[in-house]
Homo-oligomer: A and B are copies of this chain.
């Protein structure tokens, strides 16, 4: 059974470590840059009986399979700190939420040391219930991950032999989740002062309960193609509303700009007066506008 380690032992790393330990795997070691000063890191490690190590050399010496689970701005820093100590016996499982380009760079760095690398994307809030934690994998050795963690029941799917392709899917998911978070902040900051926040959410509960999320997205894109101008203009009214109560309308203005991009390039002319266009036809037209735009701009 391969030995398992973590570089980065925050919320994500410790949750997955817990899941592995509950599946009978271990012992597990970890190195976290805050290992000396973070009481949270120390208490998580103590609770799970995970040995906290004083540096990446110690981690590479005690673990063959190393999860990288640091904050996303430190993903490459973490890999670089491990590099001198990696060899062909090592597997780097990179679960960081970073761009495909960053993952491809990390994969190249690991490969230069002869180490294996898997781009792993966590497709939900992280949890120790591994059987329910959806993971996507990408990379030439992505198929080997379940064998490395034999004993744990995983919800894991390989999407591509190219590292970065799992990250790519995760990033577009994140745009929805974190973008909605930003919309929520702006709308709730605006409505809270007037005590309207619950009325706003109740109204959305009624609408959103009618559809699955993908149905909603498909409808919004189809309606955008026909009524984009009007819908964008409404965001200008929203921006006005926010400004009136002193909230900077960052998301409202961005939404107006995002919608205006395709309206100005004629998307709506293409679908004018269509009843319920197919959303995939709209996406194909957006793709074509994008390439036309590139040529025109040159």
- A binding-site residues for B, Cβ under 8 Å: 11, 40, 71-73, 97-102, 123-125, 134, 159, 165, 167-169, 171-194, 196-209, 212-214, 216-217, 220-221, 223-224, 227, 230-238, 240-242, 244, 246-248, 250-259, 261-262, 273, 283-284, 286-287, 290, 294
Contact = CB atoms under 8 A, between A and B. Distances in A.
Given A212-B205, A244-B100, A235 B191 contact: no
16 contacts: A100-B241, A123-B203, A171-B238, A171-B241, A172-B241, A174-B237, A175-B238, A177-B204, A178-B259, A179-B255, A181-B223, A188-B221, A188-B286, A204-B217, A250-B261, A254-B254
A48 to B, nearest CB: 17
Instruction: Identify which of A216, A234, A283 gathers the most chain B CB atoms within 10 Å of its CB.
Output: A234
A175 B187 contact: yes
B102 A72 contact: no
B181 A180 contact: no
Contacts of A178: 231-232, 234-235, 238, 255, 259
B237 A171 contact: yes
Contact of A251 (B203, B238, B258): B258
A235 B194 contact: no
Centre residue among A97, A172, A224 by max chain B CB count within 10 A: A172
A137 B236 CA distance: 22
A173 B182 CA distance: 14
Contacts of A248: 261
